[in-house]
Amino acid sequence: MSDPVVFEADYIIVKFGDGELVEQFEHDCMINLSRSVSITKSMVEETLYDCTDPTKPGTIYRLVDSVSLEVTGSGKTHTASLLTWLNWSLSSASKNVAIELGKTGGAVIRTAMHLSQFQPAGGDPKKYAEAAITLQSTGPITVAAL
């Protein structure tokens, strides 16, 4: 038996595009504690019945209506990018995002995303402030190998 090849939990990297014609993607230091990626399908259900014996129970078929990507993350508040996050949270603009999962042999997910939640928090004078974010996709989602 051979061991499975896995990637470290700290190598889910969220990078943001700079919006230039030849777009460059950079990791922001704020998302430095936890990161989670969720792909969700919205489904439509249809029940089809047996043509030869409609008294039999129907069979449910599910059709994909839409696909959505959500990224959540948190970390110590990175002062250098605080204003960028605050401005984006008040904006209706989306940003191009690349989410790298693993290194060699991993994958990268690319899509435009809205910042749907930005939550800086603090209170303990002996600790640094933290912030949580939620990003939601808008438009097509692509996946490629790294």
CATH of residue 101's domain is: 2.30.110
Residue 4 maps to a domain: no
Residue 60 maps to a domain: yes
Residue 30 maps to a domain: yes
The mean predicted confidence, pLDDT, of the chain is: 90
Q: How far is CA 61 from the centre of its chain?
A: 28
pTM: 0.85
Contacts of 110 (CB under 8 A, 6+ apart): 96, 97, 98, 99, 141, 142, 143, 144
Residue 3 maps to a domain: no
Residue 20 maps to a domain: yes
Residue 32 maps to a domain: yes
**Per-residue pLDDT, 4:** 76
**Per-residue pLDDT, 10:** 61
Q: Distance between CA atoms of 96 and 46, rounded to whole angstroms? A: 35
Residue owning tokens 């435009």: 112
Give the pLDDT confidence of 63-118 residue by residue, as tens digits.
999 999 999 999 888 888 889 999 999 999 999 999 998 877 789 999 999 999 99
Q: Which domain holds residue 133?
A: 9-145
**If you average pLDDT over residues 2-11, what whole number do you get?**
71
Number of structural domains found in the chain: 1
**Per-residue pLDDT, 9:** 58
Measured in degrees and rounded to the nearest 5, phi and psi for residue 77 equal: -65, 120
